[in-house]
Structure 1
Amino acid sequence: MGEPADTEPAETAARPGGQRRVLAALALAQFICSFAGSNMNVMINDISEDLDTTVQGVQVAITVFLLVMAALMIPGGKLTDRYGRKRCFLAGLVVYAVGALLSAAAPGLGVLILGNSILEGIGTALLIPPVYILTTLLYPDVTSRARAFGVIMALGGIGAAAGPLIGGLITTGISWRAAFVFQALVIGVIVLLSRRIDDPLPPDPSRSFDTAGAVLSAVGLVLVVMGILAADDNVWLMIGLIAAGALVLAWFFRSARIKEASGGEPLLSLRLFRNRTSNLGLVTQNVQWLLLMGTSFTVAAYLQVVRGYDAVQTGVVFTAATLGLLASSLSAERLARRHPQRTLIMTGFAVSLVGVAVLIVLAGSYATAWAFVPGLLFIGLGLGVMLTPSVNVVQSSFPEEQQGEISGLSRSVSNLGSSFGTAIAGTILVAGLSKGAYAAAMISLAVIGLGGLVAAALLPREAVAPGGPERPAASTRR
């Protein structure tokens, strides 16, 4: 029974056309989910006017979407082991499409949050872990995996960076609602391409699922991020929510430790955190997406609310970040052959921090929109250089049987970074939309970025053998 499941993916991977279609489906899935997290940044004025809400209301919708992804990504990764990677991938696509169409028809902010923030968030949590698990399993050596992750991270980064431009063009040319119809159409294309996907590992229906752990982890993360969002309204509420979230997360880790010690299977194996290389890689992933989404929200909100730019003008400015990210991401395979992953991640952080500094200096000195282009270009180049090696470091640190867990944890950490970026920068910005608030938000992102650079510097000079510690032979296959 198990043999066809192992050989069929290999045959599919051996066919160039089939392999390209599979990679296209996986990359487009990452693209549309990243696009959803950033395209609303240029619709702030349009949505707030149409739905009779505020900038903060739109910020909440964006942050809740990112938060739902982060909170459910670990359970989503675990479900792939029980129900299969392809089945979870397709289920996530369907839920996402329903959420996108509901958002397009939303009569008010509540329905928009239900469709975009909740349903699209749940769909993303189901479909993204299989993207990274399938890529890790189908591309066993460092060169091919770097190439595949390079394409996926390039499309993901472009979705996040080009989301403002694409969303701006659709919003100005048609309506902000049409941007959600666009997402549903892309999902349809992904479903067609997904017919060629074969699951490298058969599902195991006997695998248990830690429902209590899933609830505790989700509630804990929600409370922490909602606490950050409450910072500009009530400091004591912020402290209370963050403290409550920390207590719930501590409860989650304690229950996982007890379940693991008794021979059970917790939602998240604490053994994952015993790998120092993976832990540092997770930190770099979190900070990378925090920088990307935090910068995107801050610059987009500032340009529209303070400078009075429309959606298209704001989106055009972000083209610089898109071009930089595309150029460096698509070079991932060549860079992986020539440089250690630690060097690439450190270089990426250094270039991105230069970009943040340039954004602060030039935006404060010049009134023209061109003042934002050099900084965004640097940020795009830096993020493109380090996104792929960070993912590769984490995924390659574990064997096949742990790919479901580490993929869910990895994506959760990354999306939590996106949530933190939008929540932290957005909270500072909406508290007082002025040049001072813009600079304060960007400086906050730069300080956190320095923490990411330190984590990258602590990575071992020699990365873990591609394919994981229990599959050393994978690193020699060409």
Structure 2
Amino acid sequence: MAETTGSRPRGVLLPLALAQFICSFAGSNMNVMITDISADLNTTVHGVQVTITIFLLVMAALMIPGGKLTDRYGRKRCFVVGLAVYGVGAVLSALAPALGVLILGNSILEGVGTALLIPPVYILSTLLFTETSSRARAFGAIMAMGGIGAAAGPLIGGLITSGLSWRAAFGFQALVIVAIILLSRRITDPLPADPTRPFDLGGAILSAVGLILFVMGILAADDNFWLMLALLALGAMFLAWFFVSCRNKERAGHEPLLSTGLFRNRTSNLGLVTQNIQWLLLMGTSFVVSAYLQVVRGYNAIETGVIFTAATIGLLVSSLSAGRLARRRAARTLIMGGFLVTIIGVVVLLALAGSALNPWAFAPGLLLIGLGLGVMLTPSVNVVQSSFGEELQGEISGLSRSVSNLGSSLGTAVAGTILVADPGGHAYAAAMSVLAAIGLGGLLAAALLPRRTVSAPPVASRDT
């Protein structure tokens, strides 16, 4: 497939990057609006937390089927439909008179919209940017915007909520969605839709149930240890059933929801592990440091967001350098370097911030964490997406996004469990130390990647 030239790549990339930004922003900015929403809608903090939880469950359930639907209905069509559903959900959330309407708008419609629009972001980037460095630049811009949305979400959400209201934050999301839809007119789907492609409904149900149970288990980690284990075991059982179902369908000559060949690619599997741990570190660090600043140091949402600017800057600088770094260094080197810098950042954060009263003592550690995460987010995505040809892009994109979302949920759950178990000041240091140890696991997975990764041919066989 020919590489897009001239001004077209930038015109195509902008709506894709903005789409990742707004979805990441939506996933993190709600944390600073919980009190305002609960007071305005005459509900409890727990009620708003349920809204956030359902949003995570809907995304987890539908991300893999959402990726598969792009083959049948087209990547751009799914992207635009997902944006429209998300936008309706944002407007409904802004106007919500009660918690039930907020759940419908934010948890259901925005969750469904996200599951439809995010897989096409990565599929279109893979298909439109075929040269290694240009694809790395594209993924770098998208991951930078995603990281900024996640890291700066509390600050932007706090500013909007404090200056206007929590409803205005949803109005902001709706306005961005309208802008993306207008900008997406420049996108041309590089592959025609194939309405004859079968859709594995049974596999979609099994994968959805398995992922919902698994995410529920992760979210139950800070409430009930035995419930967590039971839900994780049930989730694993359904996901194993889903895998066996896919294998049996392939042997019978039918097309499953996911090709089992996706799981036989060692490079992709290792890349998925690094993706999971990267998002675990990003969301886990954000949760722990935010809780520490607000609970122990007594900072408000805006002050906390300002301190996080160091991590946002680091992530932005390193992500936007992805194209140049990809030309100079192998993906394995970049991912290993990213994990190493991130772990060093956690150590610096613990050493400086724990004993200093000056809030800017957090800056060096957060800057290093942001730089490290930005360096490796892009090559990890590139390694996974480039491991397969055009025919499997819908499937691997949905799987990749599900793995990343599980990492985000797991990061918050791990950190929350440690903080709840020991609410004293030492719990925050313990949580960050655990995150650093998990980061070492990511470093090991990165070290097992091949020194040079080779992109798959344009079309891949379904049984390889």
TM-score by length of 2: 0.94
- 1:353 alignment counterpart: 343
CA–CA separation in structure 2 for the residues paired with 1:371 and 1:324: 16
The 3-state SS of whatever aligns with 1:440 is helix
CA–CA separation in structure 2 for the residues paired with 1:309 and 1:50: 23
Contact map agreement 2:267 2:384 (CA 8 A) in 1: yes
**Structure 1: runs of 5 or more not aligned:** 1-5, 473-478
The 1:372–1:71 alpha-carbon spacing in structure 2 relative to 1, beyond 3 Å, is farther
- 1:202 alignment counterpart: 192
- 2:5 alignment counterpart: 14
The residue type equivalent to 1:354 in the other structure is I
The answer as to 2:196 corresponding to 1:193 is no
**Deviations, residues 419-472 of structure 1 (Å, cap 9, x unaligned):** 2112222333345544233223222322221111111010011112x3x14579
The 3-state SS of whatever aligns with 1:365 is coil
Alignment partner for residue 423 of structure 1, among 403, 407, 413? 413
- 2:231 alignment counterpart: 241
The residue type equivalent to 1:175 in the other structure is S
Contact map agreement 1:43 1:311 (CA 8 A) in 2: no
1:379-398 counterparts in 2 under 5 A? 379-398=369-388
Say which is worse superposed, 455-464 or 217-226, in terms of deviation: 217-226
The answer as to 2:84 corresponding to 1:94 is yes
Tell me the number of residue pairs that the alignment of Structure 1 and Structure 2 aligns: 460
CA–CA separation in structure 2 for the residues paired with 1:206 and 1:130: 19
Contact map agreement 2:219 2:409 (CA 8 A) in 1: no
- 1:476 alignment counterpart: none
Superposition deviation, residue 247 in structure 1: 1.2
- 1:123 alignment counterpart: 113
TM-score by length of 1: 0.91
CA–CA separation in structure 1 for the residues paired with 2:47 and 2:11: 39
The 3-state SS of whatever aligns with 1:463 is coil
Superposition deviation, residue 334 in structure 1: 0.8
Contact map agreement 1:133 1:407 (CA 8 A) in 2: yes
Contact map agreement 2:57 2:216 (CA 8 A) in 1: no
Contact map agreement 1:172 1:311 (CA 8 A) in 2: no
- 1:182 alignment counterpart: 172
Contact map agreement 1:61 1:117 (CA 8 A) in 2: yes
**Deviations, residues 47-87 of structure 1 (Å, cap 9, x unaligned):** 44444556655555434433432331111110000000011
CA–CA separation in structure 2 for the residues paired with 1:159 and 1:352: 19
CA–CA separation in structure 2 for the residues paired with 1:55 and 1:431: 20
CA–CA separation in structure 1 for the residues paired with 2:450 and 2:235: 32
Contact map agreement 2:203 2:257 (CA 8 A) in 1: yes
The 3-state SS of whatever aligns with 2:450 is coil
The 1:327–1:177 alpha-carbon spacing in structure 2 relative to 1, beyond 3 Å, is same
1:172-321 counterparts in 2 under 5 A? 172-321=162-311
The 1:106–1:450 alpha-carbon spacing in structure 2 relative to 1, beyond 3 Å, is farther
The 1:54–1:339 alpha-carbon spacing in structure 2 relative to 1, beyond 3 Å, is farther
CA–CA separation in structure 1 for the residues paired with 2:85 and 2:185: 18
Superposition deviation, residue 279 in structure 1: 0.5
1:32-43 counterparts in 2 under 5 A? 32-43=22-33
CA–CA separation in structure 1 for the residues paired with 2:45 and 2:93: 17
**Deviations, residues 382-423 of structure 1 (Å, cap 9, x unaligned):** 011001111111111111111111111111111111121122
**Deviations, residues 268-309 of structure 1 (Å, cap 9, x unaligned):** 111011110011001111111111112112222332233322
CA–CA separation in structure 2 for the residues paired with 1:58 and 1:425: 20
The 1:154–1:233 alpha-carbon spacing in structure 2 relative to 1, beyond 3 Å, is closer
CA–CA separation in structure 2 for the residues paired with 1:25 and 1:382: 26
- 2:430 alignment counterpart: 440
- 2:334 alignment counterpart: 344
The answer as to 2:109 corresponding to 1:114 is no
The 1:65–1:375 alpha-carbon spacing in structure 2 relative to 1, beyond 3 Å, is farther
Percent identity over the alignment is 76
Contact map agreement 2:383 2:453 (CA 8 A) in 1: yes
- 1:3 alignment counterpart: none
The 3-state SS of whatever aligns with 1:335 is helix
CA–CA separation in structure 2 for the residues paired with 1:117 and 1:369: 35
Contact map agreement 1:229 1:427 (CA 8 A) in 2: no
The residue type equivalent to 1:14 in the other structure is T
CA–CA separation in structure 1 for the residues paired with 2:285 and 2:402: 20
Contact map agreement 2:340 2:372 (CA 8 A) in 1: yes
Alignment partner for residue 71 of structure 2, among 65, 81, 105? 81
- 1:369 alignment counterpart: 359
The residue type equivalent to 1:316 in the other structure is V
CA–CA separation in structure 2 for the residues paired with 1:292 and 1:217: 25
Say which is worse superposed, 297-306 or 143-152, in terms of deviation: 297-306
CA–CA separation in structure 2 for the residues paired with 1:47 and 1:449: 35
Superposition deviation, residue 207 in structure 1: 0.6
**Structure 2: runs of 5 or more not aligned:** none
The 1:19–1:90 alpha-carbon spacing in structure 2 relative to 1, beyond 3 Å, is same
The residue type equivalent to 2:154 in the other structure is P
CA–CA separation in structure 1 for the residues paired with 2:35 and 2:420: 13
**Deviations, residues 240-267 of structure 1 (Å, cap 9, x unaligned):** 2122111111111111111111111111
The answer as to 2:105 corresponding to 1:105 is no
The answer as to 2:421 corresponding to 1:452 is no
The 1:184–1:459 alpha-carbon spacing in structure 2 relative to 1, beyond 3 Å, is same
- 1:408 alignment counterpart: 398
**Deviations, residues 106-151 of structure 1 (Å, cap 9, x unaligned):** 3454443332232212111100111111111111110111111111
Contact map agreement 1:73 1:411 (CA 8 A) in 2: yes
Alignment partner for residue 331 of structure 1, among 321, 328, 333? 321
The 1:324–1:79 alpha-carbon spacing in structure 2 relative to 1, beyond 3 Å, is same
The residue type equivalent to 1:408 in the other structure is G
CA–CA separation in structure 1 for the residues paired with 2:292 and 2:429: 10
The alignment's C-alpha RMSD in Å is 2.1
The 1:430–1:61 alpha-carbon spacing in structure 2 relative to 1, beyond 3 Å, is farther
